Chain A
Amino acid sequence: MTEFGFDIHEDLMVDQDRSSPAYDLLLEKVPSVAVCLSCGSCTGGCISAEMTGFGFRNLLVLLKSNRYQRLANALEYCQFCGKCAMVCPRGINTRKAILEMKKYFKG
C-alpha cells in the first residue's frame, strides 16, 4: 500500500442504501433482536460499560449501519454476565446475539 503520509478517516455517513448481511444473518439466528426499542437498559446495567463504553444497544447500531470493524473490536469487552438480558423490557436474548456476532466476526 502506498504511504501518502496522511490517513483518510472512515466514512462518517450512515449509508442506509447498503444492506448489512451480518444483521440479516443475526435476525435469522436471534429473531428477538428485531424488537429492540433502543431504550439503553442494557448499557445502563452493563458491568463493562463504565470503563469501556460498551453496550448492547450500540452493538446493534454498529451492526445495522455496517460498521463491522468497530463492532468486532467492541465485542471483546463483553463478559457474558447476562445483566442486559435481565433488564431488557422486550426480552431480547442478548447473550445469544452477542455470541452469534462473535462467531460471525471470528469466522
Chain B
Amino acid sequence: MNTLNFDCIIIGAGPAGLKAGSIISSNGHKICLLEKENIPGGKLNTWHELFPHNESARTILGKMLSENSADIHTSVNIQKISRNKNGFSLRDQNNNEYRAPALLVATGFKPFNALRKEEYGYGIYKNVITSVDLEEMFRNKNVTNSQGKVPERVAFIHCVGSRDIKVGNEFCSANCCITGIKQAIELKKMFPRINIFCLYMDLRLGGRFFEDCYKTAQINYKVQFIRGRLSETNENADHTLVLRYEDTLAGKPAKLTVDMVVLLVGMQPDPAIAQLLPEINAHIGSDGFFGNGKIDNSGLVTGNGLFFAGSCTGPKSITQSTDEAADVAFRVNEYLKKKTTNETTSSHDRIRV
C-alpha cells in the first residue's frame, strides 16, 4: 500500500495513452500510465499488420514504447476514482493510491461481442470466427479452419455489431471495412488460390490510402465484393457454412457456401471506466463514447482536469487516436501550467499577507 503523487495520471497504455504520455512528460511533468493488462500496448498487441500500409504492429508498438519515458504500471485494476480540491485520487486492487491534479482517460474501445449476433453462428459453428481471432491466427502464422485445413473459400461479413439497432450500436465503427480488406489481402498473399467474398452494405473507406487498398483488393487479389447483409448462417454436415442473404444489386435472394466466415466486429465503448468516474454523465454521448464529438469541445475538456483521448471518445484508427492524444496532451500541459501558476501566486500572496 503506497501513495504515489504525479502531475498527470493516464489510464490506459495503448497508442493514445503512450503518445500523450510521451508528450506530457517531455514537457517536464511527472506522469504515470496505468494499464490493466500485464503488458503495455493495448489493442496494438492484438494486431499482426496494420492498415493501410501493412506495417508490423510489433514494430510500431516498439517505437511507441521507446519514445515513452514515463512509468508504466501494468496489471493495475482501478477500483475507485475520487476527486477533491487537489485533483484526483485513484485506488487500485492492492490499495495503492495514485494522486494527480490531472487525469487523462485513454481506455480505448471494446470489440463487439459476436455471440450477441446469434444468427451469424459465432460460438455455435467452429468455422465462424471474428476479425480479432483471424488477426491472432496471422500473428501465430497458422490460419486454418476447425478441421485443421487451409480454408479455400472465405467470407468476410461487414458491419457486425455496427449500424445495428438490435444490438444497440447505431454508429458506424469506421475501421472494420478497411480491416476486412486488409485481412482479405493478407489471406490472399498467404494462400493465392483462396476465394474471398466480402458481404458489405456500404464500404466506408474514408481514411487516407484506404481506397487504394480497396482497388488493390479488386485488381490484384480478385476479392469479390457482394452488396448484401448476412441474414443467417447454417452449417453443412462437412462443417462448411451456407450463408443466406440478398444480393441487393441483383435484387435476388442468394446463398453462398464457404468453409470459413470472418465477422468484422465493430468497436464498442468500454463501460468499465465510466462507472468509476464521478459526475461523469454529462461527458457520455448517446452512443456511449466519452465527449460530445463537437468541434468546439472547450466546455468539456478544460477547467476540471479530466481529459479523454483515443478511441474511448469514438471509433478511431491508430493515427486518429494518436493525433487526438497529441492535441489533448497539449491541453493537459496548458492546464498543469495554469494550475502551477495559480498555486505559486496564491502561496506568494499568503506570504505577503
Contact = CB atoms under 8 A, between A and B. Distances in A.
A41 B252 contact: no
Given A37-B163, A37-B201, A41-B245, A58 B251 contact: yes
Contacts of A58: 251
A87 B119 CA distance: 9
A50 interface: yes
Given A57-B246, A57-B248, A87-B119, A44 B232 contact: yes
B166 interface: yes
Contacts of A37: 163, 201-202
A55 to B, nearest CB: 6
Contacts of B228: 39-40, 44
A56 to B, nearest CB: 10
A41 B229 contact: yes
Nearest to B244: A44
Nearest to A92: B165
B37 interface: no
Nearest to B246: A40
Q: Which of B119, B232, B248, B252 gathers the greatest number of chain A CB atoms within 10 Å?
A: B248
A40 B244 contact: no
A72 interface: no
B186 interface: no
Interface string B146-172: 000000000000010001111000000
Contacts of A49: 246, 253
Contacts of A44: 228-232, 244-246, 253-254
B248 A38 contact: yes
Nearest to B248: A40
Nearest to A40: B246
Nearest to A53: B252
Q: Which of A38, A57, A90 gathers the greatest number of chain B CB atoms within 10 Å?
A: A38
Nearest to B229: A39
Interface in B226-240: 227-232
B247 interface: yes
A46 B164 CA distance: 19
Given A44-B232, A44-B245, A87-B231, A39 B201 contact: yes
Contact of A39 (B248, B252, B254): B248
A57 B248 CA distance: 8
**5 tightest CB-CB pairs across the interface, nearest first?**
A40-B246, A44-B231, A43-B246, A39-B229, A45-B231
18 contacts: A39-B228, A39-B229, A40-B229, A40-B231, A40-B248, A41-B229, A43-B248, A44-B231, A44-B246, A44-B253, A45-B119, A49-B253, A55-B246, A58-B251, A87-B232, A89-B164, A89-B165, A91-B165
Given A45-B244, A88-B165, 18 more contacts: A38-B248, A40-B229, A40-B246, A41-B229, A41-B231, A42-B231, A43-B245, A44-B228, A45-B119, A49-B246, A53-B252, A57-B248, A58-B251, A87-B232, A88-B166, A89-B159, A90-B165, A91-B166
